């Protein structure tokens, strides 16, 4: 058995990779085990090497936009890490440090976050990252066969990258397209087939070896078409209207103006005639500060009582069945419209 | 008759991603015509009367949840949309967001009005980039039309929606974990109380709702809460979007009223068109729900009460039938892998226990099982119950128990493949008492 | 941070195992149960760290509207009338705690024989409480003690495996022992306010790490080794030195700072092996700075031998003008003896006191930043605590300088002007810069070797106890030497304390017996 040497050699997609002896109980590689380069120490670029790619004007503008979306800068940490991954293709250590600096948290915190979530890549992958779902629905429909087929077709194992740098295979947990299972993600797109130069996922079509071939062919064609994979906006594109905030910058920490909505009227008023008189019940709201009960007398409304806002019912001793009641609530200094009229029964 | 009503999926395939089409289909009508005349209390009352319950899995009444949020305290109120759909078997939100993003925005505006919120975040799981793109496009259009932003429709009401991309963690579907993730921390569930309604994101009142829950609101407004309540059962109103996957003729997203019999969903030509092969079992509400045997499915209806009668859960409406050719040990193994991989690593029973269970199941599948392993797994499942912050570990325990109890002979057949299955589960070189 | 019970906590009645008990009402259940003698096992809970509630070891049952539910005692506030069930009456609680203990051991190496934490490990304690009837069975590939093939270096089928990770210059991490309680993370984040540690990854692959490539390096980083409930974080200086159960513990006070951090001096066979913080809620809580902690390494080195007092006494007899200088590590007893000497010499002697080291800002953890540890004691006895500059200005007036525990020359070059004084008598434990330049030296006991008392910056009277670690049996405490010079030898600390009380009547009520281990607050008595 090999000795465990030192510590963390390398963290790939969440996986502490240390040298250890064979364990008879690990049947599948976990998704985290994968991302290639098993037991290989990942060389890390320095801050100077990555800064030119991170500190572009476009990037700065997007980061500023992201930071303005959250009441505290740290909220943007996940999104900034996405941007780093978009710019560099993966998230190197210094990229994490950069994100931490931007978001005002400690590098260790950002490292914890970046390794907690599985979609941040801690090592470069091939141009086409093929992620196969192997969870219950897809497994049931034969995901492992598809994965085995793809591994054979590309002549690599899960977690490895083809020598030409085009493909990396990963097995992941549920991708959220179970009805189409087995499914895969080609970079950021769901695919069960490729038709007419497009990746498709349409009902009734699941991944089969032929479809995998189609998808691989699509990838090769794309490689010929574009020299580099066109960068897909990792955050789905900036939103017109969001940039610089349609509201005030930092709208996110602001409370709604309190009187935007009309004051609440009394709801659910019920009037029941009993021996003691007419008993009124209603639904209280926490914002009520004053309640007034009115009774209709000869076509006009007359105030007959003022129950406390905490009361659940009010009895009108002079009431009889057939009389009309309504209630008017006040919230602060705003008087609501009267409640629905209710005839005592 | 009732089957025809589609609350959430009505606009599927009609190109409603575009705001013009959505408006033509009747969208945003509530916002301009009715909503701004109503008080917060009235909106919440309306939702309460509709009987709408949270569609994310737990089924908590939405109106009641909203009524917990303190109003007009001067603190910002955040609405967070839980679109971190990760439960295996569930894929409704994925397609709801792609096909009909404007309905979600409309629902959010209604919720924002009711809760006095100024800002909403849609937390979309990282794998759903197409959804994020669809949502971002829709939000841009809504801003351009003046439906979002400052002083909407000339009122004092301002509302912004931001899309937040997650990065791959099932546990972020738990609301406090989701809030942590939104704050840029690890997605680990928080201790409660305080509940998010009082102190959630950035210590402000926060309301976390599922995508489908919010998407039901426009219909409730357009029609009436009573009409919505009439669609469902006595205790829970409305329709539910079911995700049917697995061994049926036609998988997909189907909307059906609550209380629809399981077999109708699986065999009706309107829905899944029948089972592929012979039915062996159905997981009724997503992977964390205990499995139902075929004879139970005959009697079961899809609603909260009936499912708890059968000691399973309604969950998120993911119906996963499997036929007799499927190996339940393999299925349980995928669940073991999944839950041990997705455990956030906070509570001991879940962190260590799910991994332990996974390794035991792995070894059974590998032909290295031992007698007593099944009892061990059952006792593990017992020990998950109630001992953790969030229900992730019980979410493995419940289906594990059901699988083992209902298909025990298959597990035993696997264990018997091990020639030494009678020996205790210890290392071959271990010699008890060798040192002492 | 959890709210801890105080003497003023309101008492409320709760039901524990159906018996009514009175507990403090403003704290959590775990602390409340402790006050009535029910210990609840816990791993992640620490009274001076925010509650994280992740170990799930402190489960109890509470009667609620939905029946009896398992809750964690550390996070549940006490409410009047609550009904609690502990393992004494609830099999469910017993099972749940047992299960948690077992779960923790699933991926724990059980290498107690070579673990430095053995003897003070929470896992061991909890195991004795609940998990000794384990139901989990070893996994295939997992090797245990009793196995001749056990090599201590393989991963034993475990999921974590960084062994001997140099986390920083002073701390070593053995990842496979870690139980992910995140105490160290919370300490660095909330107490040290420098988040250098974080749990990375997730599930059972979670491991403690700094940012890759960076080292854990902080004035308080050794505190993480104290609060680590298992042997995952160990202090390099104590690694593989001693078994903890072979150590004797002497409670004392760290005399290098005026906060007077409470410490344990752990020693055996006359050697100090480590200094640990001793919990004092009002002073240093559970924390201790590296400076105070690692200072012990120099306690027995570079020491002075005892001098000939007759020469000193002769010198003093013929001196015209004597400067008596007290320094930082002087206890109240030393100061009283110095005062006796001053009285004995009469007008020929003047008292000086203070330190030439810079006074820094308080760090809010275990240091006030003031190196004159007994400054409040100086004030109480009326000894100047800040007039060394006067001495340096008028150095030429004196012909004898006598310093006690004050390394003037080592602290500040400016003090070299005192060399103008022809006769320099140094009473010190160490052969420091001042002693090297002295005309007469007289070795005395170090503060770790004496009984004594001091008043810290919070006006708390604290006592020092002697660790039997003095390298030279001839050495005497400074108060004994000084009082001998004054012609009235105080041969015991008790006598010296009585002398202190003569000078400061307000201290009369106190003796070494009734100064509590956490000290006595002198509010309204002094200052």
pLDDT in tens, C211-268: 988 899 999 999 999 999 999 999 999 999 999 999 999 999 999 999 999 999 999 9
Mean predicted confidence (pLDDT) in C12-34:
94
A82 interfacial to chain B (CB closer than 8 Å): yes
pTM here is: 0.91
Q: Evaluate whether C170 touches C222 at the Cβ level (below 8 Å).
A: yes
Cβ contact, residue pair B168, A118, below 8 Å: yes
First-to-final CA distance of chain B: 77
Residue at C450 is within a domain = yes
- Report the mean per-residue pLDDT for chain B: 88
A285 vs C332, residue with greater confidence:
C332
> Predicted confidence band at A79 (pLDDT cuts at 50, 70, 90)?
very high
Same domain, C164 and C237: yes
Out of A79-88, A220-229, A259-268, C129-138, which region has the weakest mean confidence (pLDDT)? C129-138
Contacts of A103 in chain B (CB under 8 A): 184
Mean predicted confidence (pLDDT) in C404-424:
89
Q: Evaluate whether B370 touches B421 at the Cβ level (below 8 Å).
A: yes
Same domain, C223 and C193: yes
- Report the mean per-residue pLDDT for chain C: 88
CA dihedral A36, A41, A42, A48 (to 10 degrees): 180
Out of A233-247, B140-154, B230-244, which region has the weakest mean confidence (pLDDT)? A233-247
Task: Indicate if the pLDDT at residue A221 is higher than 90.
Answer: yes
- The beta-carbon contacts of B231-236 under 8 Å, at least 24 apart in sequence, are B231/B2, B231/B5, B231/B7, B231/B257, B231/B258, B232/B51, B232/B257, B232/B258, B232/B259, B232/B303, B233/B258, B233/B259, B233/B303, B233/B304, B233/B305, B235/B51, B235/B303, B235/B304, B235/B305, B236/B51, B236/B53, B236/B59, B236/B303, B236/B304
> Predicted confidence band at C23 (pLDDT cuts at 50, 70, 90)?
very high
Residue in chain A nearest C142 by alpha carbon: A23
pLDDT at A207: 92
Task: Indicate if the pLDDT at residue B1 is higher than 70.
Answer: no
In sequence order, the 6+-apart residues with CB closer than 8 A to the CB of A12 are: A32, A34, A35, A36, A37, A38, A42, A122, A123
pLDDT at C138: 46
Give percent of chain C with pLDDT exceeding 70. 93
**Calpha distance C125→B431 (Å, rounded):** 27
Residue at C140 is within a domain = no
Handedness of CA A119, A121, A122, A123 (dihedral sign): positive
CATH code: domain of residue C276 = 3.30.70.20
Name all domains of chain B by residue range, CATH numbers in brackets: 19-228 (3.40.50.11540), 239-323 (3.10.20.600), 328-415 (1.20.1440.230)
pLDDT digits (tens, 9 = 90+) for A28-37: 344 444 443 3
Which one of C151, C162, C196 has the shortest CB-CB distance to A7? C162
Out of A83-92, B116-125, B365-374, C51-60, which region has the weakest mean confidence (pLDDT)? B365-374
**Calpha distance C309→C426 (Å, rounded):** 12
Domain boundary among C79, C105, C131: C105
Which one of B86, B90, B184 has the shortest CB-CB distance to A75? B184
Domain boundary among C73, C90, C105: C105
Residue at C190 is within a domain = yes
Task: Indicate if the pLDDT at residue B93 is higher than 90.
Answer: yes
Residue at C131 is within a domain = no
pLDDT at C162: 67
Range of the domain at C55: 11-105
**Which helix (H) or strand (E) covers residue C198, if one does?**
strand C197-200
**Calpha distance A18→A16 (Å, rounded):** 6
C526 vs B399, residue with greater confidence:
B399
CA distance A10 to chain C (A): 9
The two beta strands, C423-428 and C440-443, are parallel
DSSP string, C126-160: HIIIIISS----PPTT---TT-TT--SSS-TT-S-
Distances (CA, A) of A337 to A20, A299, A326, A330: 74, 18, 10, 9
Distances (CA, A) of C378 to C310, C394, C411, C503, C506: 28, 22, 19, 12, 14
Q: Evaluate whether A121 touches A127 at the Cβ level (below 8 Å).
A: no
Count of domains observed in chain C: 3
The two beta strands, A324-331 and A342-343, are antiparallel
Q: E strands of B270-379, at which residues? A: 279-283, 301-302, 318-323
Task: Indicate if the pLDDT at residue A101 is higher than 80.
Answer: yes
Q: How many CB pairs under 8 A join A and C?
A: 99
CATH code: domain of residue C477 = 3.40.50.740
Chain-centroid distance, C-alpha A154: 33
Tokens representing C10 are 């309101």
Cβ contact, residue pair A116, C175, below 8 Å: no
CATH code: domain of residue C82 = 3.10.20.740
**Calpha distance B54→B313 (Å, rounded):** 14
pLDDT digits (tens, 9 = 90+) for B407-420: 999 999 999 998 88
Task: Indicate if the pLDDT at residue C475 is higher than 90.
Answer: yes
pLDDT at C134: 52
pLDDT at C139: 47
Give the residue among B321, B414, B420 at the shortest CA–CA distance from B364.
Answer: B414
Residue at C165 is within a domain = yes
Residue with tokens 């290098």: C256
pLDDT at A35: 41
In sequence order, the 6+-apart residues with CB closer than 8 A to the CB of A310 are: A284
**Calpha distance C288→C50 (Å, rounded):** 18
Residue with tokens 């009984």: C451
Mean predicted confidence (pLDDT) in B40-59:
88
Which one of C154, C160, C198 has the shortest CB-CB distance to A21? C154
φ/ψ (deg, to 5) at B34: -115, -40
**Calpha distance B195→B69 (Å, rounded):** 10
CA distance B161 to chain A (A): 9
Residue at C116 is within a domain = no
Counting every residue, how long is chain B?
Answer: 436
> Predicted confidence band at C175 (pLDDT cuts at 50, 70, 90)?
confident
Same domain, C325 and C470: yes
pLDDT at C133: 57
Contacts of A179 in chain B (CB under 8 A): 91, 243-245, 251-253
Helices (H), C382-506: 388-393, 408-411, 433-436, 478-485, 493-503
The two beta strands, C349-353 and C322-326, are parallel
Q: Which chains touch B (3 or more CB pairs under 8 A)?
A: A, C
Residue at C143 is within a domain = no
Mutate to test the interface with B, among A179, A180, A198, A327 (most CBs of B within 10 A): A179
> Predicted confidence band at C109 (pLDDT cuts at 50, 70, 90)?
confident
Which one of B156, B182, B283 has the shortest CB-CB distance to A75? B182
C160 interfacial to chain A (CB closer than 8 Å): yes
**Calpha distance A107→C287 (Å, rounded):** 25
Same domain, C337 and C477: yes
**Calpha distance B356→B364 (Å, rounded):** 13
pLDDT at A251: 54
**Calpha distance B316→B240 (Å, rounded):** 9
Q: Evaluate whether C73 touches C98 at the Cβ level (below 8 Å).
A: no
Tokens representing C197 are 């540690």
C164 interfacial to chain A (CB closer than 8 Å): yes
pLDDT at B111: 94
Rounded to the nearest 10 degrees, what angle do helices B373-384 and B392-406 cross at? 150
Cβ contact, residue pair B127, A82, below 8 Å: no
Residue with tokens 């349609």: A246
Residue in chain A nearest C193 by alpha carbon: A106
Same domain, C99 and C238: no
CA distance B245 to chain A (A): 4
Task: Indicate if the pLDDT at residue A18 is higher than 90.
Answer: no
Mean predicted confidence (pLDDT) in B353-375:
86
Mean predicted confidence (pLDDT) in C390-413:
90
pLDDT digits (tens, 9 = 90+) for B67-88: 999 877 888 899 999 999 989 9
Same domain, C385 and C277: no
Same domain, C314 and C286: no
Residue at C457 is within a domain = yes
pLDDT at B356: 84
pLDDT digits (tens, 9 = 90+) for B279-291: 999 998 888 999 9
B48 interfacial to chain A (CB closer than 8 Å): no
Half-sphere exposure of B163 (CA within 13 A, CB side): 34
Task: Indicate if the pLDDT at residue A13 is higher than 60.
Answer: no
Counting Cβ atoms within 10 Å, is residue A155 exposed (0-12), middle (13-18) or buried (19+)?
exposed
Mean predicted confidence (pLDDT) in B163-168:
92
> Predicted confidence band at A16 (pLDDT cuts at 50, 70, 90)?
very low
Residue in chain B nearest A243 by alpha carbon: B140
Q: E strands of C309-435, at which residues? A: 322-326, 349-353, 400-404, 423-428
B363 vs B176, residue with greater confidence:
B176
Same domain, C95 and C196: no
Cβ contact, residue pair C70, B427, below 8 Å: no
B185 interfacial to chain A (CB closer than 8 Å): yes
Same domain, C98 and C158: no
Q: Is it true that the peptide bond before B22 is cis, omega within 30 degrees of 0?
A: no
Task: Indicate if the pLDDT at residue A246 is higher than 70.
Answer: no
Same domain, C325 and C275: no
pLDDT at B426: 53
pLDDT at C161: 58
Task: Indicate if the pLDDT at residue C193 is higher than 90.
Answer: yes
Q: Which residues pair with C10 in a beta bridge?
A: none
Give the residue among B62, B63, B65, B26 at the shortest CA–CA distance from B42.
Answer: B63
**Calpha distance C445→C480 (Å, rounded):** 10
Cβ contact, residue pair B345, C142, below 8 Å: no
Cβ contact, residue pair A14, C140, below 8 Å: no
φ/ψ (deg, to 5) at C321: -140, 120
> Predicted confidence band at C403 (pLDDT cuts at 50, 70, 90)?
very high
Could you give the 3-state DSSP secondary structure of residue C423? strand
A29 vs C278, residue with greater confidence:
C278
Mean predicted confidence (pLDDT) in C91-107:
85
Task: Indicate if the pLDDT at residue B5 is higher than 90.
Answer: no
Same domain, C287 and C386: no
Task: Indicate if the pLDDT at residue C30 is higher than 90.
Answer: yes
**Which helix (H) or strand (E) covers residue C344, if one does?**
helix C332-345
Same domain, C320 and C462: yes
Domain boundary among C276, C298, C320: C298
Cβ contact, residue pair B39, A263, below 8 Å: yes
Contacts of B202 in chain A (CB under 8 A): 71-72, 75, 253
């Amino acid at each position: 058995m090999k000795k465990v040497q030192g510590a963390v050699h390398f963290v790939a997609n969440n996986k502490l990779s240390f040298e250890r002896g064979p364990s008879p109980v690990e049947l599948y590689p976990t998704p985290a085990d994968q991302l290639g380069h098993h037991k290989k120490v990942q060389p890390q670029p320095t801050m100077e090497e990555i800064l030119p790619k991170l500190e572009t004007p476009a990037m700065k503008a997007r980061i500023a936009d992201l930071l303005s979306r959250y009441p505290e800068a740290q909220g943007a940490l996940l999104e900034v890490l996405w941007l780093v991954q978009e710019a560099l293709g993966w998230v190197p250590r210094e990229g994490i440090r950069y994100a931490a600096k931007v978001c005002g948290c400690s590098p260790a915190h950002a490292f914890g976050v970046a390794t907690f979530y599985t979609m941040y890549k801690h090592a470069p992958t091939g141009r086409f990252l093929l992620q196969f779902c192997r969870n219950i629905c897809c497994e049931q429909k034969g995901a492992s066969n598809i994965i085995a087929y793809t591994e054979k077709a590309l002549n690599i194992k899960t977690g490895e990258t083809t020598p030409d740098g085009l493909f990396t295979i990963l097995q992941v947990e549920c991708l959220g397209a179970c009805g189409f299972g087995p499914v895969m993600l080609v970079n950021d797109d769901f695919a069960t087939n490729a038709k007419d130069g497009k990746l498709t996922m349409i009902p009734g079509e699941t991944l089969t070896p032929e479809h995998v071939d189609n998808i691989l062919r699509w990838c090769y064609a794309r490689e010929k078409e574009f020299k580099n994979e066109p960068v897909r906006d990792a955050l789905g594109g900036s939103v017109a209207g969001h940039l610089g905030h349609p509201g005030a910058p930092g709208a996110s920490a602001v409370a709604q103006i309190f009187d935007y909505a009309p004051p609440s009227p009394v709801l659910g008023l019920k009037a029941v005639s009993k021996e003691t008189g007419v008993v009124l019940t209603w639904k209280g709201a926490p914002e009520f500060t004053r309640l007034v009960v009115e009774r209709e007398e000869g076509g006009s409304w007359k105030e007959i009582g003022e129950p406390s806002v905490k009361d659940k019912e009010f009895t009108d001793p002079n009431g009889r069945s057939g009389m009309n009641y309504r209630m008017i609530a006040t919230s602060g200094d705003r008087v609501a419209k009267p409640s629905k009229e209710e005839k005592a029964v | 008759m009732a089957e025809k009503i589609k609350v959430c999926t009505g606009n599927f395939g009609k190109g409603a991603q575009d705001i013009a089409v959505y408006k033509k289909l009747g969208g945003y009508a509530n916002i301009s015509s009715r909503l701004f005349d109503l008080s917060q209390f009235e909106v919440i009352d309306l939702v309460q009367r509709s009987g709408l319950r949270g569609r994310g899995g737990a089924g908590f009444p939405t109106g009641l949840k909203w009524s917990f949020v303190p109003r007009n305290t001067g603190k910002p109120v955040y609405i967070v949309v839980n679109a971190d759909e990760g439960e295996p078997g569930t894929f409704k939100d994925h397609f709801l967001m792609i096909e009909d993003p404007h309905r979600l925005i409309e629902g959010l505006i209604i919720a924002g009005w009711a809760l006095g919120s100024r800002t909403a975040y849609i937390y979309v799981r990282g794998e759903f980039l197409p959804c994020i793109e669809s949502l971002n496009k829709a939000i841009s259009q809504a801003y351009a039309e003046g439906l979002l932003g400052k002083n909407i429709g000339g009122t004092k009401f301002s509302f912004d929606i931001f899309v937040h991309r997650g990065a791959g963690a099932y546990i972020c579907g738990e609301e406090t974990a989701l809030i942590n993730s939104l704050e840029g921390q690890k997605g680990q569930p928080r201790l409660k109380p305080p509940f998010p309604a009082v102190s959630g994101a950035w210590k402000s009142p926060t309301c976390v709702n599922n995508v489908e829950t919010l998407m039901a609101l426009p219909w409730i407004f357009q029609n009436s809460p009573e009409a919505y309540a009439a669609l469902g059962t006595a205790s829970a109103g409305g329709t539910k979007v079911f995700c049917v996957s697995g061994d049926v003729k036609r998988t997909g997203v189907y909307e059906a009223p609550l209380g629809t019999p399981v077999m109708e969903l699986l065999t009706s030509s309107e829905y899944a068109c029948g089972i592929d092969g012979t039915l062996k079992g159905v997981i009724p509400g997503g992977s964390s729900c205990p499995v139902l045997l075929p004879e139970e499915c005959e009697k079961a209806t899809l609603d909260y009460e009936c499912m708890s009668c059968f000691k399973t859960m309604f969950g998120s409406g993911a119906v996963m039938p499997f036929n007799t050719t499927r190996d339940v040990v393999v299925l349980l193994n995928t669940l073991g892998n999944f839950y041990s991989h997705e455990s956030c690593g906070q509570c001991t029973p879940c962190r260590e226990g799910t991994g332990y269970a996974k390794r035991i199941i792995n070894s059974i599948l590998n032909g290295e099982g031992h007698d007593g392993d099944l009892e061990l797994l059952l006792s593990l499942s017992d020990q998950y119950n109630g001992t953790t912050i969030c229900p992730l570990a019980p979410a493995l325990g419940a289906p594990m128990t059901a699988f083992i109890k209902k298909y025990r002979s298959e597990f035993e057949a696997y264990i018997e493949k091990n020639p030494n299955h009678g020996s205790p589960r210890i290392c071959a070189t271990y010699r008890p008492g060798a040192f002492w | 941070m959890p709210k801890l019970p105080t003497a003023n906590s309101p008492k409320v009645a709760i039901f524990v195992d159906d018996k009514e008990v009175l507990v403090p009402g403003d704290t959590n259940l775990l602390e409340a149960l402790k006050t009535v003698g029910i210990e609840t096992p816990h791993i992640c809970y620490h009274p001076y760290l925010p509650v994280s509630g992740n170990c799930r070891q402190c489960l109890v049952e509470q009667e609620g509207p939905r029946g009896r539910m398992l809750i964690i005692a550390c996070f549940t506030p006490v409410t009047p009338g609550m009904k609690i069930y502990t393992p004494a009456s609830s099999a469910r609680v017993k099972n749940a705690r047992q299960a948690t203990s077992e779960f923790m051991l699933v991926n724990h190496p059980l290498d107690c024989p070579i673990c430095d934490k053995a003897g003070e490990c929470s896992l061991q304690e909890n195991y004795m409480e609940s998990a000794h009837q384990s139901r989990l069975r070893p996994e295939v590939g997992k090797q245990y003690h009793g196995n001749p093939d056990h090599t201590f270096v393989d991963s034993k089928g475990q999921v974590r495996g960084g062994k001997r990770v140099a986390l920083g210059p002073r701390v070593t991490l053995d990842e496979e022992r870690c139980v992910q309680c995140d105490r160290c993370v919370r300490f660095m984040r909330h107490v040290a306010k420098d988040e250098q540690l974080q749990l990375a990854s997730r599930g059972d692959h979670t491991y403690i790490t700094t940012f890759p490539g960076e080292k854990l390096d902080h004035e308080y980083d050794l505190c993480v080794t104290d609060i680590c409930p298992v042997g995952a974080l160990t202090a390099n200086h104590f690694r593989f030195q001693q078994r903890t159960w072979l150590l004797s513990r002497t409670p004392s006070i760290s005399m290098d700072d005026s906060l007077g951090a409470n410490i344990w001096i752990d020693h055996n066979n006359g050697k100090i092996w480590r200094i640990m913080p001793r919990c004092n809620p009002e002073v240093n809580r559970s924390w201790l700075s590296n400076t105070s902690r690692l200072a012990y390494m120099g306690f027995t080195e570079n020491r002075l031998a005892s001098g000939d007092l007759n020469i000193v006494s002769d010198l003093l007899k013929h001196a015209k003008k004597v400067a008596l200088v007290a320094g930082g590590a002087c206890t109240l007893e030393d100061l009283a003896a110095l005062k006796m000497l001053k009285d004995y010499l009469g007008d020929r002697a003047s008292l000086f006191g203070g330190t030439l080291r810079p006074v820094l800002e308080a760090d809010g953890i275990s240091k006030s930043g003031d190196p004159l540890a007994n400054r409040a004691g100086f004030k109480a006895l009326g000894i100047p605590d800040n007039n060394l500059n006067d001495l340096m200005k008028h150095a030429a007036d004196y012909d004898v300088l006598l310093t006690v525990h004050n390394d003037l020359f080592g602290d500040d070059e400016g003090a070299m002007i005192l060399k103008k004084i022809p006769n320099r008598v140094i009473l010190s434990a160490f052969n420091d810069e001042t002693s090297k330049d002295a005309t007469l030296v007289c070795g005395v006991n170090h503060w770790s070797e004496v009984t004594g008392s001091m008043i810290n910056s919070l006006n708390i009277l604290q006592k020092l106890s002697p660790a039997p670690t003095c390298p030279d049996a001839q050495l005497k405490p400074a108060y004994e030497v000084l009082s001998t010079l004054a012609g009235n030898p105080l041969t015991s600390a008790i006598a010296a304390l009585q002398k202190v009380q003569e000078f400061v009547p307000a201290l009369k009520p106190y003796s070494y017996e009734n100064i509590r281990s956490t000290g006595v607050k002198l509010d309204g008595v002094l200052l």
